[in-house]
Copies of this chain bind each other. A is one copy, B any other.
Amino acid sequence: MKITRESISEAHERIQPYIERTPVLTSASLNELAGCQLYFKCENFQKVGAFKARGATNAALKLSKEEIVKGLATHSSGNHAQAIARAGKMLGVKSYIVMPRTAPEIKKRGVRGYGGEIFECEPTLQAREETLAKVIAKTGAAEIHPFNNYDVVEGQATCAKELFEQAGGLDIVVAPVGGGGLLSGTALAAKFFSPTTVVIAGEPAGSDDAYRSMQSGKIEPAQSNTIADGLLTTLGDKTFPIIYENVKEVITVTDEEIIAAMRLIWERLKIIVETSCAVPFAAVLKEKEKFKGKRVGIILTGGNVDLEKVGKWFA
């Protein structure tokens, strides 16, 4: 693992022309409700509507022309998929995206909008990996894994780096955990750019493999019983060691708690965030005493929502 303070800074410069420096929002009423000072890093306003643009762009730009000539390939539930399709379009090469058939339509439309070719599969990690292997064998495309890739992690680290620049002196930063790309990047950014900041993860209780992995000290398999569709994946062998060493704890939250937190964000901040995106704020609201009086950064990861589903959540 060669991710350093310098390499994250270089990644940030590398991707800067292609990504947004997203705003940090605050809300007096949410601060009062949570009992701490909250700084929401709005990656829902990022290109492709999610932080995934950072890691995918960094990884794609670090490949040589020879490596990418036959295109880019990945598997993803949606936001990384769009980010890779966008990177392919930027670089003038094809992109081949394996997506679970249950992925939100808005994310599939996004992939197609960037000219990506979609291969649907069953919504399991095994099906995703097997389908991707076949696609790569056929096309010769370069794989950019959604999280278990150091260049992707390095790119995701630029999000917390920006947050530290925008809202200095954070006591805690909270990120969600699925495969651990964002969380490990956030942990490294804190280590190198804000070493007094504690990193905590939020995770859906219905897919609590990171929580269990932190207890057992090895990668535990994921279930997938949660509405947080972006957090169904299991930690990878590259992300887990970084998380195990640098993340203080994982707080798990139920789907009801996720929806309640998402509703507060929609109503008070007036912004659209995904279910997965509401998980860290749900964790803060669940264990308020851990955050009491602190300056707390929350990474809002994405805003790609199928609006048809909204009626069900807020009925």
Taking beta carbons and an 8 Å cutoff, which residues of A are in contact with B? 23, 44-45, 49, 106, 263, 266-267, 270-273, 303, 305, 307-308, 310-312, 314-315
Contact = CB atoms under 8 A, between A and B. Distances in A.
A49 B270 contact: yes
Contacts of A266: 272, 307
29 contacts: A23-B23, A44-B270, A45-B270, A49-B270, A106-B267, A263-B307, A266-B272, A266-B307, A267-B272, A267-B305, A267-B307, A270-B271, A270-B272, A270-B273, A270-B303, A271-B271, A271-B272, A272-B272, A307-B310, A307-B314, A308-B314, A308-B315, A310-B310, A310-B311, A310-B314, A311-B311, A311-B312, A311-B314, A311-B315
A114 to B, nearest CB: 11
A43 to B, nearest CB: 10
Contacts of A310: 307, 310-311, 314
Contact residues of A: prevailing secondary structure: helix
A310 B309 CA distance: 9
What is the count of identical protomers in the complex?
Answer: 2
A315 B306 CA distance: 10
A19 to B, nearest CB: 14
A314 B273 CA distance: 16
A163 B311 CA distance: 34
Nearest to A46: B270
Nearest to A271: B271
Contacts of A23: 23
Contacts of A45: 270
Contacts of A311: 310-312, 314-315
A312 B272 CA distance: 17
A44 B23 CA distance: 16
Given A49-B270, A106-B267, A266-B307, 5 more contacts: A267-B272, A270-B303, A310-B310, A310-B311, A311-B311
Nearest to A273: B270
Contacts of A267: 106, 272, 305, 307
The 7 closest A-B pairs by CB, nearest first: A311-B311, A270-B303, A307-B314, A270-B272, A44-B270, A310-B310, A271-B271
Contacts of A263: 307
A273 B303 CA distance: 15
Contacts of A271: 270-272
